[in-house]
Amino acid sequence: MTDRLPSENIIYTNGLTKQFDGVTAVNNLSLEIPPGVIFGFIGPSGCGKTTSVRLLLGVYKPDSGDVQVLGHRPDKFSHRERAKIGYMPQQFILYPELT
């Protein structure tokens, strides 16, 4: 994988997969979300929505597949790129590393 992937889409994934202790949380997720589209994950509890978002944010690294957001791999975001992304988790959390 390269740091910058060629795509016109704001969000792009291809075959994104993530497992935890042998349990598949996200299996072969492929998305192409172009600029200007309002997009959200909807589904029942435990279907992989939060894991998918965390993969898009670079919180988790995928076990396989490619992901890019704003033209870059999330695990390689600069501070400037990360500042362009907003994330509101389902439950309010205080992060101890923030003062």
- Residue 32 inside a domain? The answer is yes
Condensed to tens digits (0 to 9), the pLDDT of residues 25-76 reads 999 999 999 999 988 889 999 999 999 999 999 999 999 999 999 999 998 8
Question: Alpha-carbon distance 56 to 11, whole Å?
Answer: 8
Going through 5-75 in order, the beta strands assigned E by DSSP cover 11-20, 23-33, 64-69
- Residue 93 inside a domain? The answer is no
The total of structural domains in the chain comes to 1
- Residue 30 inside a domain? The answer is yes
- Residue 71 inside a domain? The answer is yes
Question: Alpha-carbon distance 24 to 48, whole Å?
Answer: 9
- Residue 87 inside a domain? The answer is no
> Domain with 32 in it: what CATH number?
3.40.50.300
Which range is most confident: 47-56, 77-86, 88-97? Answer: 47-56
Question: Alpha-carbon distance 14 to 3, whole Å?
Answer: 15
Residue 29: domain span: 11-82
User: What pTM value is reported for the model?
Assistant: 0.80
